[in-house]
Structure 1
Amino acid sequence: MEGSDAIIITAAVFLSISLAAVSLRCYVRLGIVKAFGHDDALMVAATIFNIGFATCGIVGAVYGMGKTPVYLAHHQEDLRRGLLIPRGKCWWLGQVLYVFTCTIARLSIATTLLRLTIHRTHSYILYGVVTFSTAVGIVFLFFTIFQCHPVTYYWNHYPETGHCLGINILLGIVYMYSGMAATCDIILGSLPILIIWRLQMDRRTKCAVSGILGIAGIASAAVIVRIPFLHHAKDPDFLYATTQISIWSNVEANLGITAGSLVTVRPFLRVFATHNSCVQ
């Protein structure tokens, strides 16, 4: 399978899953419990950014991202368009949307947990995650947007004159962000077990809710898996070498949104079970 096909399939499949989860969340919060909160609004915002992020990945893959050097050598038009679009505006915009998506989704999950926690220590930890994640996201976003001066020099080297930060500096920033993001995701994936276990729920419900929230921890695995591929960003065959970076970034963003949304569907399952009992 071509790298471009893998990018398109991954982005489309995981986006569909996250959209279904968010749609179900909105139905539950608006139609059943009628209590649409700040965490719901944040997750909807993250989803909107995620749609743009996935679109950038799919468009980029169509125009050359993920294509092998051999393919591009025999398709010069795709190479020209590929370097112009995915490594240019689409690639740049995708990075920006990725930061917004993951940071806002992380804030939504933390806000949801803040509504559930009853211990001050857990609240302090979550406020720390919110502050830390927001600060790191802003720093990474700043360097992503302004890595070149002028900004348009990133995708329009000619005839403009300008300069960009060295690739090693940018990679250092990306490594820092990935480490911080993984740490926050691990906390958000493990803390729910401590929080849920102290609530007044039956054991089966506690296991189900903890498991769903724990999916957020899998997002940290996606960040960690992506780290060894980050150095490929300075590869001469940029379009093909960054395939895994694009794939795992999509997995990370969508898993976070999916996990944060599924935890709110318990009322729907209760209504569904009640309806089935009445039918029988």
Structure 2
Amino acid sequence: MAIRPQGRSSPAGRGTLLSVSETAATQAVVQTLRAAGCVFAEDEARLLREQFAGAELEHAVRRRCAGEPLEYLLGWAEFDGLRVAVRPGVFVPRRRTELLARVAARLLQSGDTVLDMCCGAGAVAAALVRRVPGLRVVAADSDPAATACAERNLAGATVVTGNLFAPVPAALRGRIAVITANAPYVPTDAIALMPAEARDHEARAALDGGPDGLEVHRRIAAAAPDWLMPGGALVVESSNAQQRAHVELLRHNGFVVAEHRDDESGAMVLAGRLP
């Protein structure tokens, strides 16, 4: 694919011709992306043209047409009004997960400690910092590439790498107001049905929730009460298919559960509070 301005400019009509050339170049990107199956080709073309030009733009468009996530090309993902830094292989924050941040923010106040478990690039924690100033933030993930991104997105936060609660500072046991967890919840057999962008490019550990999708959530729900303060909450993302089993899982571990849905995005969030 070649993306080149068309026509020549003259002193008298330079502005008009440049505008026509820019429009033609943008349309060339749009058409190429649309032919590759990109549903939001116009928006993607605009973002790519804002960030790249010339040979770099052509290279980025080829990578996008080959199925690489747009966020990896840009180096950031939009989430809850923020630009969250991401890198290849790291879980890309989904817009539907904004509901998780909104629900958690309503349970927090300045001075509280929040733990973002399975934090990925730290998108949920970053949104909470913006929504509730004065939080003490801890973010944890098992993937060093993810926590490297989280450190960029969460200045001043404690970012730790390890298996679930293992790397969380022991001094926080019983003192955390809210634990958020966008932990993997896709059943293993369903990963093959996911869009290629996620299936082929994101770390499998960030997607695979075990045979029924709740394997990681069971471990989080069992351990969370020891880390939460009295009346604290565990706020997790779930799905319609797992809603009943997920609610029972939280109740089994002592939580009183409230369900939150966003019909526009299809998001489901469960907020479990300790008595």
The two structures have a TM-score, normalised by structure 2, of: 0.21
Query: Which of the pair has the greater relative contact order for Cα pairs under 8 Å at 6+ separation?
Result: 1
The two structures have a TM-score, normalised by structure 1, of: 0.21
Over alpha carbons, which structure has the higher Rg?
Answer: 2
